A = this chain, B = another copy of it.
């Protein structure tokens, strides 16, 4: 029974850019894989780059992946999104990507990633950064170097 399992699972959002280096993609994929193995639902913005890599890693490890899409069409999701949620909200949907999350793992990205990071911080979510925006000493982003550390901290 998939549904009750998903219900009891923790949700972790994985955020980052659509146009990132191969190393960042490999790290995001590893994060997705590790989260899925821990029984965590992986939530993303559902598009390319970090979202796609994290969904691929989670999906190939048998995990459930969610994509909160900017447009109105479920088929805009990357191929590794299990449950695609169209919103029609454009980039305003970034608020919803992290609203769902018990913790957020943030990779490098552009302003869309910064928006998600700021919404997560506003909601007082646990935020783990793997080379993401530096926002100064007063923000509570936990900075790490590896996928293993990121997942350990996110789930700790």
Residues of A that sit less than 8 Å from B by CB: 1-7, 11, 41, 55, 58-60, 62-66, 68, 72, 74, 77, 79-92, 95-96, 99-100, 110-112, 114-115, 118-119, 121-123, 133-136
For residue A151, give the distance in angstroms from its CB to the closest CB of chain B: 18
Nearest residue, chain B, Cβ from A74: B100
Name the residue in A66, A79, A80, A96 with the highest tally of chain B Cβ atoms < 10 Å from its Cβ. A96
- Chain B contacts of A79 at CB under 8 A? 7
| Residues of chain B contacted by A110 (CB below 8 angstroms) | 122
Subset of 21 A-B contacts with CB under 8 Å = A3-B55, A3-B58, A3-B63, A3-B64, A3-B82, A7-B83, A41-B83, A64-B83, A72-B123, A74-B100, A86-B96, A87-B99, A88-B89, A89-B89, A91-B95, A91-B122, A114-B121, A115-B118, A115-B119, A133-B136, A135-B135
Within 8 Å CB of A89, what residues of B?
88-90, 92
Q: Chain B: which residue is nearest A102 at the CB level? A: B74
Closest-CB distance, A121 to chain B (whole angstroms): 5
Bound complex: CA A6 to CA B111 (Å): 30
